[in-house]
């Protein structure tokens, strides 16, 4: 059987939480060269340390809003577009910048991909569902984004779908909230945000109303596997796929953390800012593509604890 040439992948936002692990765990059977684009706004220089030698890497400090994208896209087979403002609560204070990056930046990149005939993998978010009374899937029309972050992602989805007939090849992945270790890890979303204080002997702060609420989460290892599967099977069909590991309640997260920090205390507070209320998401559509999540809450939390060699 003839072997297909390995792909050259452009990753925007390559030094972030997802990107810093993805660029290290692309399948070397599929990917031969990775071009990393990042504006270094979060100064995660360490994401470039000790990259594997099985893939050829290049890095460019640039911003999707101003970069000469045609130059960066030369010779590229697929774009994985991770560059985004992802802190949902903070996006309420910076809505204009959030839309500038997450929507206008995506439109600019998508136009360049269409002009160059390059498929685009766009990570959206399950946060677009907002509050839901029942299990929801990709057919849901009652979308209720609760933050500028989620709204900007939803508007970007709509733009991409509007370009399908114009020839843009893309796939939209609504990722659950990411958890799990990476070199460029951040601690601003639920599982990671709770793990950080537990590691340092501090109480976990939980919204009073959130204890029983369920939301979708995606283990970072599963996220990387999902992206590799899309590359392998060329799933650039213009469809939307929910990608997650588990629908879990805050109490499930805290109880799992207590397996590694038995004495952790919980501080219950009121909060005026809620990203979303309770909802559960089905990922049957993506599983039908051959994806099966392998991670568990315990796996992501354990690996994060294991990377800290000290105890509080």
- Active site positions, annotated: 149
| DSSP assignment of 170-224 | EEEEEEPEEES--TT----SHHHHHHHHHHTT-PEEEEGGGTT-EEEEEEHHHHH
Neighbours of 53 (CB within 10 A): 8
Dihedral of the alpha carbons of 199, 23, 56, 34, in degrees to the nearest 10: -150
Determine contact, residues 11/22, Cβ cutoff 8 Å: yes
d(CA 27, CA 231): 9
- Residue in the structure block whose two tokens are 């796996």: 299
User: What is d(CA 144, CA 129) in angstroms, rounded to the nearest whole number?
Assistant: 5
Torsion, Cα of 108, 111, 116, 120 (10° steps): 80
């Amino acid at each position: 059987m003839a072997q297909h040439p390995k792909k050259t992948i452009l990753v925007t936002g390559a030094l972030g939480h997802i990107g810093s692990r993805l660029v290290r765990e692309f399948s070397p059977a599929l990917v031969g060269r990775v071009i990393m684009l990042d504006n270094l706004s979060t100064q995660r220089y360490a994401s470039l340390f000790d990259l594997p030698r099985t893939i050829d890497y290049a890095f460019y400090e640039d911003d999707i809003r101003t970069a000469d994208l045609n130059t960066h896209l030369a010779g590229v087979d697929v774009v994985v577009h991770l560059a985004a403002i992802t802190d949902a609560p903070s996006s309420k204070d910076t809505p204009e910048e959030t839309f500038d990056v997450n929507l206008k930046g995506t439109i600019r990149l998508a136009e360049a991909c269409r002009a160059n005939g390059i498929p685009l993998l766009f990570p959206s978010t399950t946060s677009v569902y907002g509050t839901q009374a029942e299990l929801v899937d990709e057919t849901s029309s009652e979308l209720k984004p609760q933050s500028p972050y989620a709204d900007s992602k939803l508007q970007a989805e709509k733009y991409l779908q509007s370009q399908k007939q114009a020839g843009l090849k893309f796939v939209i992945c609504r990722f659950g909230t990411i958890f799990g270790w990476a070199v460029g890890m951040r601690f601003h979303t639920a599982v990671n945000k709770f793990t950080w204080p537990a590691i340092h002997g501090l109480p976990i702060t939980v919204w009073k109303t959130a204890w029983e609420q369920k939301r979708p989460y995606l283990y970072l290892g599963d996220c990387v596997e999902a992206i590799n599967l899309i590359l392998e099977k060329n799933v650039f069909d213009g469809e939307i796929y929910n990608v997650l590991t588990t629908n879990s309640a805050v109490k499930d997260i805290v109880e799992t953390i207590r397996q590694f920090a038995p004495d952790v205390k919980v501080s219950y507070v009121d909060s005026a800012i809620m990203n979303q209320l309770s909802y559960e998401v089905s990922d049957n559509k993506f599983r039908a593509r051959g994806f099966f999540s392998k991670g568990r809450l315990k796996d992501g939390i354990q690996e994060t604890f294991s990377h800290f060699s000290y105890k509080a």
